[in-house]
A and B are shown apart, each in its own frame.
Chain A
Amino acid sequence: MLLDFLDLGFLESWPLWRQLRDGGDGTGPEAMSRRTRELRPKTAGAEVARSVCPYCAVGCGQLVHHRDGKLLAIEGDPESPISRGRLCPKGAASHELLTHPGRLTRVKYRAPFATRWQEISLDEAMDRIADRVWESRERTFEEERDGSVLMQCKGIAHLGGATLDNEENYLLKKLFTGGLGITRVSNQARI
């Protein structure tokens, strides 16, 4: 019993012993409990994706820590030659941007004259959207006017792009203008 009591493990768990052995004023590592000593950042051992802040156009570098398909944290990338690891309040909130409870995760559908949303499946929404595009294009497409090429779908418009990726804007412009003949395409940029 006494031997157990004097066991090195016990002594090791005694802050006074550690202070006597290692020095220090009793507020440093010598005072830490084992739990504290063994604490690791929640991002330890996580995978890291190199990313870019989605808010303004400074283009701050971000490190996106994730594990098992779940986001853990988003922090500034110290290697970025532009931001040098810093993020502003918005950039620092970008983990919450993707994980907050108010985020939309299901398709919502409102029928004409309906007073409430209903849920429909993503596939059904895509089928119906394709139907609407097709019908409106059929009704409003003009191939020619006064003998000159027009090839324009007049009844459909698009808005948005400055928050999207270049590759996304490319596909949108390619399909909408190049494929469907939609010229009423616009976004936030007026620069």
Chain B
Amino acid sequence: MPGLGTSLGRGGATTAQQDLANADAILIMGSSMAENHPVGFQWVMEARERGATVIHVDPRFTRTSAMSDLWVPLRAGSDIVFLGGLVRYALEHGKVFRDYVVPYTNAAVLLKDELRDAEDLDGLFSGWDEGRGEYDPATWLYRGGRLKVDGDEGAPGHEPEAGGHGKDRGGEAQEIETIERDETLEHPLCVYQVTRRHFARYTPEMVERACGVPAAEFLRVADAFCSASGPERTGAICYAVGWTQHSVGVQIIRTAAILQLLLGNVGRPGGGILALRGHASIQGSTDIPTLYDVLPGYLTMPVFDDDADDLAHYLRKHQSETGWWHNLDKYVVSLLKAWYGEEATAANGFAFDLLPRVDGDHSHQGYWLEMAEGKLEGLFVIGQNPAVGAPNGRLERKALARLRWLVVRDLVEVETASFWYDSPEIERGELRTDEIATEVFLLPAAGHAEKDGTFTNTQRLLQWHEKAVDPPGDCTSEPWFVDQLARRLKARVAGSRRRRDRPLQALTWDYPLESQRGGPVVDEIAREIHGWKLPPAGSGGARELVSGFTDLAADGSTACGCWIYSGLYAGGVNRPRQREARGPLGHGWGFAWPSDRRILYNRCSARPDGAPWSERKKLVWWDDAQGEWTGVDVPDFTKRKAPGYRPPAGAKGDDAIAGDQPFTMHPDGVGWIWVTTGLKDGPLPTHYEPLESPIENPLYGRQRNPAADQKEGPDNRYAPDLDPRYPHVLTTYRLTEHHTAGGMSRHLSHLAELQPELFAEISLELAEEAGVSNGDWVTIGTPRALIEARALVTARIKSLVVDGKRVHQVGLPYHWGQRGLVRGDVVNDLVAISQEPNVRIMEAKALVCSLARGRRPRGADVLDQL
């Protein structure tokens, strides 16, 4: 999310799946799209039928590779070297789309003399504080820029408590004052030249050494993909959690964004970056976040002390003077009005002091470690199965036993609900059922056809699913559950005068009820998310729907639950429910945020003067006669702002963005090859080895991402570097026939039959070395766990020569657990709890393991061998 957010302005896929058909080249990396997004993959096939080159870079040969023109196996965990190699290739071989790059990116901007690059400091940028383990981004700013901080507060986006999902990733820490530019791109301290030097050593030879990809093969990919650039051609990149689940995950995506900016591929048909999300509403669950670090619409959660007590201070810190985020006050105030209603007034700072403050690492893994220490009392788990799906399952499950109470809501009895009687810890004697004090409530949930609501798909598209039937038995929807809980708890605080009860008292909760079981009418929740114009207090007038987020105000006259979704009910029509697709991008079917724009930053599809780059690649252009932007997509730009518009001195907000600056969320209106602030591990992507690796970092003295948090402890140990006990690279993945932790697939007869058993995919070379035949049992080990699986000996996975030595890779699908029609060991038990510094994701896609023939020990004997 911050990978795309810091580079381009928004943390969402820039394009639509259908638009892949317009690409001239497609690079799929960190994803097996044909297997995990099979129906979306039809658009890749359509592109290929039209002549596009499809490239799959992945450790394993999968159905995606089979349908690609090129398959290149690489060592898991070496992605930044490969992509950095592509960036270098584009820069050194004249592949940069210069007419796009100069006006539309910050390539020409000059940086500070004090800046030191990772090349100068052996893998660190200037500003690193070894004691605190964090960067001060002051030297990363544009020349002449000052860091916006009050006293000893962290800069926005750099507080240790804050996560990277929030809006503070577009340089809010910098006042954009005088930007110095060199449009010849020759000044040694312009972003273009700094980037060139940074990636100078990411040569084809380095790719061969670090990734295990022969230089000639790399060059074939580089030429094929980098040729999809310029006025007539575009290329797209597709990725999934094969990129995100790394200790450098955000920076991998950053490298892709830099490449696409240099090739001029963002905001144009057949271009962009398609983030392939793995759950029906994973994009939606960050847009309207059940997350620790953000409020709906990427508004930063207030951090204890740093954001102090009042709204004015919060806004001073997080509001940008220029660019779209200047509207922050309107969105925060409208959210507070949606939540606290008439209790939120201008006089009391719109009840901002009712919001809780974050004072530590409150992410999943952060609070789970608190739980393991017995510091939490209660937990809700709703539609997730961490006993199987989360890293270091043994630690996760043992932590559940330290709770006073646990509420699980799901379609089946998942392993998270049954940990107290059938977990591996019970079998091993680490936990005893009659000693576990946790009170467990397991509530059956309604399925998608049994309730109304919207999912936001991988291309930011909200689609409504209609309720067809009532759920069976005691099954209920989440709105029913939350509403029931809210009513019971609100009843307890009626009449209270305690400060802690004020938020609950003030919380607006007057949803009309459906007849069946009395859950709230979901349509009414959708309207609150979209937003209301409120009548003056006490006037007795009626509220009206806003037309979209441009109606929102900072004076308390509007209420809106999630500003980026505002527009979904424009004109009183439930747009996610619309099913009348028209045009190549499917307008009229669902609603894409923001404002139904299907391809983000689409102002880039026209030249600075507003004309399309070419007839073949036209999308949005300036209509001089009408004086507005027009085209086949909704313009992602102020409709009547002419290409020649230049902001007057002192302009604020969107008025400060010129008519040829397409990245309007950023304070300077351009795409960021260089990120001044908002990333905790550096302004440019830098290759670090995975937290566990079989080789030394071939590029820098720094072995690992210095800002990553390993959360090391007795139950979360790591293999030392180059540990001969764990010589193989391990990577995890999903299968077409199962879904994540299995709750929605392992219990279904057809899917269970299609993929009945856990297996370990290994190369012919490793099989020979380990004396293993196809179908044999093998035991796979890390310092966290031992698991057993059937060996799948196959030429689809290759042993590679990396840094002069042969490295074997082991691939494990992770869907099995103790329950369901088909069962197996929990692969995620092998993975460490670790945190990438920006979004706190674990490194599940590149670690090291042992592999031996035979089954694992039973019972407590496993523990002796760890």
Q: Which residues of A contact B (CB under 8 A)?
A: 47, 49-62, 64, 66, 69-71, 74, 79-84, 86-94, 96-98, 100, 102-113, 115-117, 121-122, 125-130, 132-134, 136-137, 139-141, 143, 145-146, 148-191
Contact = CB atoms under 8 A, between A and B. Distances in A.
Specify which of B433, B448, B456, B820 lies most central, judged by the most chain A CB atoms within 10 Å of its CB.
B448
B763 interface: no
B382 A158 contact: yes
A186 B434 contact: no
Contact of B525 (A81, A171, A191): A171
Given A128-B441, A170-B561, A191 B279 contact: no
Contact of B478 (A74, A155, A165, A181): A165
B449 A51 contact: yes
Contacts of B443: 107, 122, 125
A119 B504 CA distance: 31
A89 B499 CA distance: 52
B376 A157 contact: yes
A104 B413 contact: yes
A30 B739 CA distance: 46
B378 to A, nearest CB: 5
9 contacts: A55-B279, A56-B37, A81-B581, A90-B737, A104-B442, A126-B481, A152-B359, A186-B362, A191-B244
Given A167-B529, A169-B288, A88 B38 contact: yes
Contacts of B39: 58, 60, 82-83, 86-88, 91
Contacts of B421: 115-116
Given A157-B380, A166-B462, A173-B289, A59 B821 contact: no
B485 interface: yes
B293 to A, nearest CB: 9
A56 B532 CA distance: 32
Contacts of A52: 280, 448, 455, 457, 463-465
A166 B488 contact: no
B280 A54 contact: yes
B837 to A, nearest CB: 12
Contact of A175 (B461, B472, B486, B577): B486
B475 interface: yes
B477 A168 contact: yes
B42 A51 contact: no
Given A51-B468, A108-B441, 17 more contacts: A54-B465, A57-B276, A89-B736, A94-B448, A97-B447, A126-B481, A136-B378, A145-B359, A149-B353, A159-B386, A160-B382, A161-B291, A165-B478, A169-B289, A173-B290, A185-B290, A186-B292
A145 to B, nearest CB: 7
Q: Which 4 A-B pairs have the closest CB atoms?
A: A165-B453, A59-B457, A105-B473, A81-B586
Interface in B709-744: 736-740, 744
Contacts of B466: 49-51, 64
B522 A165 contact: yes
A184 B36 contact: no
Contacts of A55: 279-280, 739, 744
Contact of B36 (A56, A106, A116, A134): A56
Contacts of B200: none
Contacts of A102: 412, 747, 820-821
B377 interface: yes
A172 B482 contact: yes
A41 to B, nearest CB: 17
A106 B413 CA distance: 10
A163 B478 contact: no
B755 to A, nearest CB: 9
B164 to A, nearest CB: 9
Contacts of B434: 113, 115
A178 to B, nearest CB: 5
Contacts of B358: 152, 183
B356 A98 contact: no
A92 B358 CA distance: 42
Interface string B607-648: 000000000000000000000000000000000000000000
A71 B586 CA distance: 29
B291 A105 contact: no
Interface string B366-410: 010011000111111111101001000000000000001101011
B601 interface: no
A116 B111 CA distance: 65
A157 B499 contact: no
Interface string B405-439: 10101111100010011000000000001111111
B452 to A, nearest CB: 8
Contact of A81 (B18, B355, B378, B444): B18
B795 interface: no
A132 B309 CA distance: 30
Given A49-B467, A129-B407, A90 B751 contact: yes
Nearest to A109: B441
A157 B379 contact: yes
B350 to A, nearest CB: 13
Given A129-B441, A149-B309, A180-B504, A80 B589 contact: yes
A158 B290 contact: yes
B440 A110 contact: yes
B525 A167 contact: yes
Given A122-B476, A167-B526, A132 B281 contact: no
Contacts of B93: none
A117 B280 CA distance: 31
Contact of B292 (A113, A154, A183): A183
Given A57-B458, A59-B461, A168-B478, A159 B280 contact: no
Contact of B412 (A103, A141, A178, A188): A103
A47 B469 CA distance: 10
Contacts of B455: 52, 54, 57, 59, 165-166
